[in-house]
Amino acid sequence: MKFISTAALFLLLQNAAATTPRPNYEAFTNVTGSKDDRGVCQCSVYLPDTTFPVYRMEALELTAQKLSKKFESELSKVSKYTQEIEIYEKRILNLTSRIEHMERTSVTYTELDFKLMRLEISEMEKLVTQLKSTLTGSNVIVEQLYEEIKNLSLMVNELESLDKHNILAIRREIQALQSKLQECEAHRNQSTPPVHYFPPGSCGHGGIVNISQPYMIQLNWRGFSHKWGAWGRYSSPLYPEKELYWVAPLNTDGRYLEYYRLHDSYDNLLLFRHSNQFRIQYGEGSGMAVYNNYMYFNAHGSRDMSKLDLNSNNVVLRKTLPGAVYNNRFSYAGVSWQDLDFAVDESGLWVIYSTEASTGNIVISKLNETSLDVISTWETKQYRPSVSNAFIVCGVLYATRPVNTRKEEIFYTYDTNNGREGRISIIVDKMLETIQSINYCPIDRRLYVYNDAYLIRYDLTFQPLSAV
C-alpha cells in the first residue's frame, strides 16, 4: 500500500470531487489514521467504484423476489383452474349428449331440463370469464373453451325457443283443456246425449253439430310475415293410413304460391325436420288442396286449374274452369286472390268459385280428379264476397263469416245431394283475426285452418241421422 501525506491527500480528494459526478450517497468513507515509529501519519482511504450501479442491483433483486411470489401465486391459481376446467369439460360432454338425445326424441322435452342446462352453462361461463380476467395475455385453450360454452348456450336457447312453439305449448294447452274438461264433467247435465262416433269415410250422419276449440300447431316455417297460405293432411281413400302433411305459405304479397313443404309425420311437422321443400311457378291464392298425391291450385293470372304431381313436383295437367272469374274478382271477404277454392271430401275433389252469370254468388262444381273435367255444378244464392271461407263435408258446403276478431260463425250450408240451402249457427274460436283457408280431411274428420300465418286444427262433431 502507498502512503501519502495529509495535505496531498486533501488536494487529491478536492480534485476528485471536482471532476467526479456526485451520486446520492457519500463519495468516500472516513477512517481513523495512525502514526508509524518515525512519527509519520498514515491512513487508509477506500474510494467507491462508480462504474457498477449497486443500488440498481439491489432494486432488481427486490423486484425479482416480488415477481417470484406473484408467479407462485398465479401458478397455484392455474393449477386450481385446470382441475376445475377438467370437471366442467366432463359436464359439457354430458350436456352435449343430453341435447343430442333431446334432438332425437322430441317427447323428452321438459321445462326442468332447460332450467338445469341453463344453470350449468351459467356456472361454466362464470368460471371461464374469471379465468380470462385473471390470466394476462391470451390463452388459446381458455378462449376455445369460452367459445364452446357460448355455442352451447345458443344451442339451448334455440332448442328452447323451438320447443315453446311446439311441445311445451301443446302440453300446456292439453293441461288447460284437460282441466276444463274435468270442470265440465263435474258440472255436466246427466241428460246430455252421448257423442256419436262415425267412422272415417262414412256419411251416415246429419251434418256438423259442433266444433272443438282450436289446436294451435305452430307458426308456418316461412315466418309471421307470410300471413296467407294453406295447409292440410294428405287424403286418399286408397291409402287412408298414410300420414303426410303439406304446408303452402304464399309469398308476402298474399298472391303468389311459390313454395310448399311435405312432412311424412306429425312429429316431423312439429319439429320442422325431415321435410321436403319444393318450388313451383306459379300458383295464385290460398285455395289449394291435396288429394291422391296431387296438389290442385289456381294457375297464376288465369281461370285455369293446375294439377301438380307431388312425387315429381311437375304440373301434369292444366285446364280452364269454364266461366270462372279470376284476378281477384268475387274473392272471399278479407282474403284476396282466392278465386278458385279447391276442396276435398269423402267423395273426392271439388272447386268453389263464382261466375259473372252468378253475379258473384257461390258456385260449386264436382271435378273428375284425373281429367279435371266438371262432372256437376250447383249455383247457390249466397254472395261469395260476404263469406270469409268455405269447405265441403259429405257433399255439403259449409260457409263461414266473421263475428269479431276472435270468433267466426259457420252460418250457411248448401247440400249438393238434394240442392237445399240451410242456415245454422256454430261458433268457431279463432287464434287471430283472419282465416285465410280451411281444408277438410275426410281421413281424420278434422279442419286444417291457416289463420294469419299460424297452422290451426279443429275436430268436428256430427249429429246422428235420427236427430235430424
Residues 136 and 36 in one domain: no
Q: With respect to residue 88, please indicate whether it lies within any of the assigned structural domains.
A: yes
Q: With respect to residue 66, please indicate whether it lies within any of the assigned structural domains.
A: no
> Closest Cα to residue 280, out of 316, 253, 252?
316
pLDDT value for 456: 96
Of 129-133, 217-221, 353-357, 462-466, the poorest mean pLDDT is in 129-133
Q: With respect to residue 393, please indicate whether it lies within any of the assigned structural domains.
A: yes
Instruction: Determine the residue type at 7.
Output: A
Query: What average pLDDT does range 97-101 have in this prediction?
Result: 70
pLDDT tens for residues 329-364?
999 999 999 999 999 999 999 999 999 999 999 999
Residues 22 and 80 in one domain: no
3 state SS for the chain: CCCCCHHHHHHHHHHHHHHCCCCCCCCCECCCCEECCCCCEECCCECCCCCCCHHHHHHHHHHHHHHHHHHHHHHHHHHHHHHHHHHHHHHHHHHHHHHHHHHHCHHHCCHHHHHHHHHHHHHHHHHHHHHHHHCCCCCHHHHHHHHHHHHHHHHHHHHHHHHHCCHHHHHHHHHHHHHHHHHHHHHCCCCCCCCCCCCCCCCCCCCEEEECCCEEEEECCCCCCCCCEEEEECCCCCCCCCCCEEEEECCCCCCEEEEEEEECCHHHHHHCCCEEEEEEEEEEEEEEEEECCEEEEEECCCCEEEEEECCCCEEEEEEECCCECCCCCCCCCCCCCCCCEEEEECCEEEEEECECCCCCEEEEEEECCCCCCEEEEEEEEEEHHHCCEEEEECCEEEEEEEEECCEEEEEEEEECCCCEEEEEEEEEECCCCCEEEEEEECCCCEEEEEECCEEEEEEEEECCHHHC
**Is pLDDT at 24 greater than 60 in this prediction?**
no
Residues 161 and 238 in one domain: no
Residues 228 and 346 in one domain: yes
> Closest Cα to residue 301, out of 286, 284, 287?
284
CB atoms within 10 A of CB 135: 14
pLDDT tens for residues 282-306?
999 999 999 999 999 999 999 999 9
- Judge whether 388 and 335 are in contact, CB under 8 Å: yes
Residues 349 and 255 in one domain: yes
Residues 209 and 160 in one domain: no
Residues 265 and 327 in one domain: yes
Residues 361 and 430 in one domain: yes
180 or 74, higher pLDDT: 74
Q: What are phi and psi of 16, to 5 degrees?
A: -65, -40
pTM, 2 dp: 0.61
Bridging pattern class, strands 294-299 and 256-263: unpaired
Q: With respect to residue 408, please indicate whether it lies within any of the assigned structural domains.
A: yes
Residues 83 and 34 in one domain: no
Which of 117, 141, 167 terminates a domain? The answer is: 167
CATH code, domain with 112: 1.20.58
Share above pLDDT 90 across residues of the chain, in percent, rounded to a whole number: 49
Instruction: End-to-end CA distance of the chain: give it in Å, rounded.
Output: 142
CATH code, domain with 350: 2.40.128.630
Q: With respect to residue 196, please indicate whether it lies within any of the assigned structural domains.
A: no
pLDDT tens for residues 247-256?
999 999 999 9
Parent domain of 460: 205-467
- Distance, in Å, from the CA atom of 422 to the CA atom of 415, rounded to the nearest integer, reads 8
Residues 232 and 331 in one domain: yes
Query: What average pLDDT does range 366-370 have in this prediction?
Result: 97
Residues 448 and 329 in one domain: yes
Share above pLDDT 70 across residues of the chain, in percent, rounded to a whole number: 69
Strand order in the sheet with 420-429: 389-393, 396-404, 407-415, 420-429
> Which three three-digit cell numbers place residue 21?
459526478
Residues 237 and 146 in one domain: no
User: How many domains does the structure of the chain reveal?
Assistant: 3
Q: With respect to residue 175, please indicate whether it lies within any of the assigned structural domains.
A: no
312 or 3, higher pLDDT: 312
Q: With respect to residue 233, please indicate whether it lies within any of the assigned structural domains.
A: yes
Q: With respect to residue 362, please indicate whether it lies within any of the assigned structural domains.
A: yes
- Distance, in Å, from the CA atom of 73 to the CA atom of 199, rounded to the nearest integer, reads 79
